[in-house]
A and B are shown apart, each in its own frame.
Chain A
Amino acid sequence: MTGAVQVLDDAQRAGLAALADTLIPGGSGLPSASAAEVHGQWIDRALAARPELADAVLAVIGTVPEPVAGLGWLADLDRSLADRFTFAVAGAYFMNPVVRRALGYPGTAPRPLLAAPDEAEFYLDDDVLGPVLARGHVFRQPPEEPAR
């Protein structure tokens, strides 16, 4: 829905890649942030969706001295700035279909409710509601007239 807006130049993208990799170095079958092109098309998509995050992204890229190592830089940032930056990076990362596939996350794909006609009953098989029903009513019945 949102066209690609390129607010970062090449140097800023390189800075973003380095910072984002300290947040998401990858492993466990998942790519690092830079391997997932967070600093490329995906940050553009994230910033097109929420242009007001660009200030935070640029501010962090501009203030953290290179070379970055570890997460000390994150702890040194103002909390709100850090939150907006990590949100933009994570938002960009999780948009990448490669990442989604590796996580087994299909995105918001339609799935009919009910997938099978007896799907709702399936989960209630084996009398799983039995103990709840056996205990009976659990509410308090007040006297009908309000106190005045």
Chain B
Amino acid sequence: MSDSRNVADVLIIGAGMSAGVAARHLTDAGLRVVCLEQGEWVDPGNLPGNKPEYEVLGSGNWYPDPNVRRRREDYPLDVSESDLPLFMYNGVGGSSVLYGGIWARALPSDLRVRTLDGVADDWPISYAELVGWYQAVEAEMGVSGLDGNPAYPPGFAVPLDPAPIHRTGLTMAHGMNKLGWHWWPGTNAIPTRKYGEQEQCVRYGICRMGCPQGSKASTDVTHFPAAITRGLTVITRARVAEITVDERGLATGAVYFRDGQEHFQPASVVLMAANGIGTPRLLLMSTSRRFPHGLANSSGLVGKRLMVHPYASTVGVYDDELEDWLGPAGEHIGSMQFYETDASRGFVRGAKWSLIPVGGPLEAVDKWTGPTSLAEGGFWGEGSAEEMRTSIGHLMQWHIVPEDLPEEQNQVTLSTELTDSDGLPAPKIHYRVSENTRRIVDFNLARTLEAHEAAGATRSWVAGRNHTSGHNTGTARMGDDPATSVVDRWGRSHDVPNLYVIDGSVFPTSTGVNVGATICALAKRTASHLVEQARHQVVGA
């Protein structure tokens, strides 16, 4: 079946965020790289954000839940045993098309939770080892922010000047100062001036529906076009069904379906970049006589330890007109005041806060009507117009991202009920919010309400909890010991030496920050290692 003229040096499964970073690095190094992507390219003209009906459109075909979008390329998620739905985007750029662009490096303690807090596991690598990789991808992704954030080790600096913290950030900053709490101007992968392929941000504030301006760093803008000019092949509408292996147990390529036809793409090395859900799904689907429990799964940990950062939010109403819809969104300011463990609080680890523009009026109303909102009284009926007049444009919301610790029963398996449009089993999500995560959230919800009060809110309340973050990690964890991890410190499978995982699956713990920066840094690091070690790399038949 395989055609030697067509053998890729490196085959990447998925063309999302991590794939873009790796593909550009590998093609820069002269390797012949092919990406197989189940979705399509985004046409910026189709993005809803700058259209009058954007809020309605953004709740349907551009909503981050694949079970709502239900496009052909969206494999369904069986969430019958999950406390919340999961988010992702399936197309070139992957979830970076719909992400908020909040750029957050992990902290040194994130990678040492066993040493410091006696829970879960340390990462096999340290913050010091990651810093250079963060800097490299920050330069590739037009990251803007203010240097010197004291929540990070000295030397934290990003390439572009910060965006204005706006009236929202300033109002909240005064409140945080009253309380003596940490805050810092937002760090976002959203450029404050034209930067390479990225246009200057025009503050639509709809980053989470895709950026019609081509400003936010999604890899379909920042990475794939450059890689294609250097010879990268991206095959869209290609749904991978199996990673194949030879009799020595080495990966040989991938079987995929395109418009109902089965194809085979041979490769010397395979990189999994299909998201923390899609990667374990595909490894579990890739069974063979040699690997009856799925590929790279001798530890039994493929799919296990799923972490998703179920986040929470509070909202405050302010007398002043705040233009609360104005981007970048992104965060206007962030806080790490309650990030590090303080055992007296009754939990370990903590949360990052982001002050994020509320968005348009429909999103504002959702602060009252959302399923887990604790707003008193309803929104509709007599008085609804007065509520609109006094609140739309006058809101601020804190998003609280809690660290979610790994537990083996939180996992991705294969559904026996649902299949995708090619008849392949859907992933089944087993996820329950843990007691520690619940306590982190409760504590931080209470503190953000205090922050609203200090900042002068006339009213504030819990707008919701167990919101879906799109931070899907942990399902093919990295570690030094093959008995307790799926991949090694470079992302290479312990079992299959020419198979690597470069997406969020490799996180041993979830960190308490938005995960995109760390995913990109790790993808760059693995790609660089591959290039350096190319001469020693064993390859499949």
Interface residues of B in 172-230 (CB under 8 A from A): 173-174, 176-177, 180, 182-185, 192, 200-206, 213
Q: Flag if A138 contacts B150 (CB, 8 Å).
A: yes
Residue B337 at the A interface, CB < 8 A? Answer: yes
Interface residues of A in 91-132 (CB under 8 A from B): 91, 94-95, 97, 100, 102-105, 107-108, 110-115, 119-120, 122-124, 128-129, 131-132
> Complex formed: what's the CA distance from A46 to B201 in Å?
27
Contact of A105 among B107, B177, B361 (CB under 8 A): B361
What residues of A have a CB within 8 angstroms of the CB of B174 in the complex? 128
Q: Flag if A1 contacts B51 (CB, 8 Å).
A: yes
> Complex formed: what's the CA distance from A25 to B383 in Å?
8
Chain A: minimal CB distance from B196 (Å): 17
Residue A58 at the B interface, CB < 8 A? Answer: no
Chain A binder among B5-13, B26-34, B255-263, B320-328: B320-328
What residues of A have a CB within 8 angstroms of the CB of B60 in the complex? 49-50, 52
Instruction: Count chain A CB atoms within 10 A of each CB in B107, B204, B380 and give the residue with the most.
Output: B380
Chain B: minimal CB distance from A127 (Å): 10
Question: B481 — nearest CB in chain A belongs to which residue?
Answer: A148
Q: Flag if B192 contacts A120 (CB, 8 Å).
A: yes
What residues of B have a CB within 8 angstroms of the CB of A129 in the complex? 173, 184
Number of interface residues of B (CB under 8 A): 89
Question: B115 — nearest CB in chain A belongs to which residue?
Answer: A147
What residues of B have a CB within 8 angstroms of the CB of A105 in the complex? 325, 360-361, 392-393
> Complex formed: what's the CA distance from A48 to B61 in Å?
12
Residue A141 at the B interface, CB < 8 A? Answer: yes
Chain B: minimal CB distance from A102 (Å): 8
Contact of A139 among B108, B185, B380, B381 (CB under 8 A): B108
> Complex formed: what's the CA distance from A102 to B192 in Å?
31
Question: Can you list, as one digit per residue, whether each of B373-393 has a CB less than 8 Å from chain A (1) or not (0)?
Answer: 000001011101110110011
Q: Is the interface of B mostly helix, strand, loop or mixed?
A: loop
Q: Flag if B124 contacts A28 (CB, 8 Å).
A: no
Residue B169 at the A interface, CB < 8 A? Answer: yes
The answer to whether residues A142 and B109 also contact, given A103-B392, A137-B150 and a CB cut-off of 8 A, is yes
Chain B: minimal CB distance from A2 (Å): 7
Q: Flag if B177 contacts A114 (CB, 8 Å).
A: no
Q: Flag if B164 contacts A120 (CB, 8 Å).
A: yes
> Complex formed: what's the CA distance from A7 to B326 in Å?
34
Chain B: minimal CB distance from A84 (Å): 10
Interface residues of B in 324-341 (CB under 8 A from A): 325-328, 336-337, 339-341
Q: Flag if B56 contacts A91 (CB, 8 Å).
A: yes
Chain A: minimal CB distance from B408 (Å): 20
Chain A: minimal CB distance from B191 (Å): 9
Q: Flag if B56 contacts A124 (CB, 8 Å).
A: no
> Complex formed: what's the CA distance from A16 to B115 in Å?
61
Contact of B362 among A91, A124, A136, A147 (CB under 8 A): A91
Residue B83 at the A interface, CB < 8 A? Answer: no
Residue B524 at the A interface, CB < 8 A? Answer: no
Q: Flag if A141 contacts B162 (CB, 8 Å).
A: no
Question: Can you list, as one digit per residue, whether each of B102-117 has a CB less than 8 Å from chain A (1) or not (0)?
Answer: 0000011101101110
Contact of A112 among B48, B111, B200, B371 (CB under 8 A): B200
What residues of A have a CB within 8 angstroms of the CB of B385 in the complex? 24-30
What residues of B have a CB within 8 angstroms of the CB of A124 in the complex? 146, 165, 185
What residues of B have a CB within 8 angstroms of the CB of A27 in the complex? 385-386
What residues of A have a CB within 8 angstroms of the CB of B154 in the complex? 137
Q: Flag if A114 contacts B381 (CB, 8 Å).
A: no
> Complex formed: what's the CA distance from A119 to B166 in Å?
9
A–B Cβ pairs within 8 angstroms, 7 of them: A50-B57, A52-B60, A91-B56, A107-B360, A113-B164, A120-B161, A146-B124
New A-B contacts (9) at CB < 8 Å, excluding given A108-B49, A110-B202, A133-B150: A22-B381, A110-B203, A110-B204, A113-B164, A113-B202, A115-B164, A120-B192, A123-B169, A146-B115
Interface residues of B (CB under 8 A from A): 46, 48-57, 59-61, 107-109, 111-112, 114-116, 122-124, 126, 128, 146, 148, 150-154, 161-167, 169-170, 173-174, 176-177, 180, 182-185, 192, 200-206, 213, 321, 325-328, 336-337, 339-341, 360-362, 365, 369, 371, 378, 380-382, 384-386, 388-389, 392-393, 480
Nearest 6 interchain pairs by C-beta: A110-B202, A146-B122, A142-B112, A30-B385, A91-B56, A49-B56
